[in-house]
Structures are given as structure tokens and as C-alpha cells.
């Protein structure tokens, strides 16, 4: 009987994003060339434990997935493996589950497991690593909020979708002389709002990293009107703090996962309608930001991440995550990457450039605006 070839496994955890399939394809192509067989666990970490579920991966079944959104392996951000709950509180995974996962890898002769995920999924990967499992990480999320890497794949595609939405909102807002509010995703980081807000010519950008007030937002709308600009686009990140404090979310009580943000766009629009006595409309972009074809940048990044993850396995560098540190793709301990979220620096050149162009972040204290902390 022919000797069994060593095997590299891959799984995709947490919320999906464009580029996951590009990583899977890259892992498979690179691994096969180094003499490994490949399998993919299904539905994230759930596939590792009873009932164990996986599929063989080869050149045929990964041949046309480079540009396909979602993940052919499926994913879940619920389930038995949970390392983060609430607003980022860390919890330990049941050791029995970790041992079951270890048994599965042993039984299937898995040399290395590539875990593709955001902070929640990589926190699980870290616990698997601490339990002695041979894991490497690949950073994915539209939110771009993972530490240690300049970009996660998925972010560029989400920004492209949000920018396209703003492009479209400009024309309808101008026709009806309306204030329009676009709510975008991003969890506790304002990366999508900032990048799409600038790329799409937003007039107000509200992000979690900069406390803002309705007085300043109204001032911006009125100042534009005084210049003859009768429409205004407001981009608000789902994780922006409500003036005076607090997040807007609708997480059912007792849910064993991170809070589900969303709803701030409608509330901002309602408040602006009252304060400005103007027609205000809201668009919540939601999961459109997560679906569809990855941009060329995301395909490129995902492909490099996948190939480099295989190299980490081949070199036995377990417990590391691939990262983009321009111009290099390299390894970094997963523990470092999940230690702190990457958030927008209010003093960054992007924020300063936007301010220089007259974009409001809702924190201006010019005459008539009131203080930023005021509601």
C-alpha cells in the first residue's frame, strides 16, 4: 500500500468576506506542489468535532473559486467554539472540545491546520495552539481591525462596495436636496467608514474613535446650505458611540457571542430630521459589504496569505499568523495579533486630509456647534 502523504487542512471561521476562497485556492495549490494532500473542515471549527465534517480539496474543486465570494467550506460565528463574547471579553474554550479537535487532526494525519479568521476565530486558533495543535493563522475581516497587519483581506472589497453606495447616494441626494445617512459595518473600528467616506466624498464621517455631537453635525449641514450645497452625505460606522456614550445594538439577552451592532443609522437620521426639520433618509449597507467578488487587491493579498501560510506549516512555525507589513508578507505570533484591536488614529494622515477638505467628524467646536460631548 502506498504511504499516506502528509496533509494540510484549512478552515474558515467567523463572518465571511470576499477573498476566503482565494485563500483556500492558494493553500491548496501551494500545498500540493510541496507534496501535501489537502482537506477543508466544514462550518469553521465545528467541523473539527463530532460530527467531524471535512472535504478533500484538490485542483479540480478549487479551480474556479478565485473570484467567488463567500467560502466553499462554510463558516459560522456561533457554535461550540467561542473565545470572545460581549464587547470583546475573552473566555476559555471547553478543554474537552480542544482535545476532540486534537484527536481529529491526529486521526486524519494533519501536519498543519490553517485557520482563516478575524479576532474571534484567531483567538480560538491561539487556544488550539496553546493546547498543542499545529495551527497557523490567516487574518480575514472586512473590519480591518486586527493588530499586527497593515490590512486584512476583505476590507478593500467592503470599502469598494461602500464607496459605490456613496457614489450612487450623491446623485439621488442632490436631486432631492436631502441629507442621507449611510450606515456601514466595521464593529469597534471606523476603518470602513473612514476609507469609504473619503473615497466616496462623504461630508460627515462618524467613527468610534472620535466622539461626536449632533450640534457639530447639524452645523456642518447648515454651513453647507449656506454655501448653496443642499444635500449632505453622512457616513456612520455601526460601532460609533452615541453622543453621551453607549453602542447601538440589538443583541438578544444571553446570546453567547459578541454583541451584534447595528441600528445607529436610523437613529442618527431620526435625530437629524427633528433637529434640522429636513428630509433625511437612511441606507444600511449591511451584509452587502461582505458578499460578492473580491477586488483585485483582496485576491492578491488573500493569495499571498494562503501561500505564505503553507510555508509556515512547512517550516513548522505553528502559532504564527501571516501578516502584511508592506512590502512584506511574513509571520507574527497569533498572540500578538489578537492582543489589541487596530483602530483608526484620529491624528492619522487620512483623518487630517479629510479635515483639510472640510469633512466633518462631528467633533468640531466652531462657534454655534457646541461642545463635542454635547448630544
CB of 263 to ligand F6P, least distance (A): 11
Beta strands in the chain (DSSP E): 7-12, 37-41, 54-57, 84-85, 89-90, 110-117, 135-139, 179-184, 204-206, 232-237, 280-284, 320-325, 328-333
Q: Indicate the residue among 140 and 219 with the shorter CB distance to ligand F6P.
A: 140
Which of 124, 116, 139 shows the shortest CA–CA distance to 21?
Answer: 116
> Which triple of cell numbers denotes residue 240?
460609533
* CA pair distance 224, 220, nearest whole angstrom: 6
- DSSP secondary structure code for residue 92 in this structure: P
Task: Determine how many CB atoms are found less than 10 A away from the CB of residue 199.
Answer: 15
* CA pair distance 281, 83, nearest whole angstrom: 38
Q: Indicate the residue among 79 and 370 with the shorter CB distance to ligand F6P.
A: 79
Q: Indicate the residue among 104 and 144 with the shorter CB distance to ligand F6P.
A: 144
* CA pair distance 317, 331, nearest whole angstrom: 8
Residue 35 zone, left/alpha/beta (φ > 0; ψ -120 to 50; rest): left
CB of 364 to ligand F6P, least distance (A): 27
Q: What DSSP string runs through 302-339?
A: HHHHHHHHHHHHHTT-TTEEEEEETTEEEEEEHHHHHH
Q: Indicate the residue among 84 and 98 with the shorter CB distance to ligand F6P.
A: 84
CB of 334 to ligand F6P, least distance (A): 17
Which of 184, 189, 186 shows the shortest CA–CA distance to 283?
Answer: 184
Residue 298 annotated to the active site: no
Q: Indicate the residue among 143 and 156 with the shorter CB distance to ligand F6P.
A: 143
- Which residue's C-beta sits nearest to ligand F6P? 185
CB of 120 to ligand F6P, least distance (A): 8
CB of 10 to ligand F6P, least distance (A): 20
Q: Which residues bind ligand F6P (CB under 6 A)?
A: 15, 77, 118, 141-143, 185-187, 238, 260-261, 290
Contact 343, 209 (CB under 8 A): yes
Q: Which of 16, 37, 119, 143 is catalytic?
A: 143
Active site residues: 143
Amino acid at each position: 500500500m502506498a504511504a499516506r502523504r502528509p496533509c494540510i487542512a484549512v478552515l474558515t471561521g467567523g463572518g465571511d468576506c470576499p477573498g476566503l476562497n482565494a485563500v483556500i485556492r492558494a493553500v491548496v495549490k501551494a500545498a500540493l506542489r510541496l507534496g501535501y494532500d489537502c482537506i477543508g473542515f466544514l462550518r469553521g471549527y465545528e467541523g473539527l468535532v463530532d460530527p467531524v465534517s471535512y472535504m478533500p480539496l484538490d485542483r479540480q474543486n478549487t479551480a474556479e473559486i478565485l473570484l467567488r465570494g463567500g467560502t466553499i467550506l462554510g463558516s459560522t460565528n456561533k457554535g461550540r467554539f467561542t473565545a470572545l463574547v460581549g464587547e470583546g471579553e475573552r473566555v476559555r474554550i471547553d478543554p474537552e472540545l480542544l482535545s476532540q479537535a486534537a484527536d481529529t487532526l491526529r486521526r486524519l494525519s494533519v501536519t498543519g491546520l490553517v485557520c482563516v479568521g478575524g479576532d474571534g476565530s484567531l483567538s480560538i486558533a491561539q487556544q488550539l495552539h496553546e493546547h498543542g495543535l499545529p495551527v497557523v493563522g490567516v487574518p480575514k475581516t472586512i473590519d480591518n481591525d486586527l493588530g499586527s497587519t497593515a490590512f486584512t483581506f476583505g476590507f478593500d472589497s467592503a470599502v469598494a462596495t461602500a464607496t459605490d453606495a456613496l457614489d450612487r447616494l450623491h446623485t439621488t441626494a442632490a436631486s432631492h436636496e436631502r441629507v442621507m445617512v449611510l450606515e456601514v459595518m466595521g464593529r469597534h473600528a471606523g476603518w470602513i467608514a473612514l476609507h469609504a467616506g473619503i473615497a466616496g466624498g462623504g461630508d460627515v464621517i462618524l467613527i468610534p474613535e472620535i466622539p461626536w455631537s449632533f450640534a457639530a453635525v447639524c452645523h456642518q449641514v447648515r454651513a453647507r446650505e449656506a454655501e448653496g450645497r443642499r444635500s449632505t452625505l453622512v457616513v456612520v460606522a455601526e460601532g460609533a458611540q452615541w453622543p453621551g456614550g453607549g453602542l447601538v445594538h440589538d443583541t438578544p439577552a444571553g446570546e453567547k457571542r459578541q454583541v451584534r451592532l447595528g441600528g445607529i443609522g436610523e437613529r442618527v437620521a431620526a435625530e437629524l430630521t427633528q433637529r434640522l426639520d429636513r428630509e433625511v433618509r437612511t441606507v444600511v449597507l449591511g451584509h452587502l459589504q461582505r458578499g460578492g467578488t473580491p477586488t483585485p487587491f483582496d485576491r492578491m493579498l488573500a493569495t499571498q496569505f494562503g501561500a505564505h501560510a503553507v510555508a509556515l506549516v512547512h517550516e513548522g512555525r505553528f502559532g504564527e499568523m501571516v501578516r502584511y507589513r508592506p512590502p512584506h508578507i511574513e509571520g507574527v505570533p497569533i498572540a500578538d495579533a489578537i492582543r489589541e484591536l487596530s483602530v483608526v488614529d484620529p491624528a492619522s494622515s487620512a483623518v487630517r486630509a479629510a479635515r483639510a477638505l472640510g469633512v466633518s467628524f462631528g467633533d468640531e467646536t466652531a462657534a454655534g456647534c457646541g461642545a463635542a460631548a454635547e448630544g
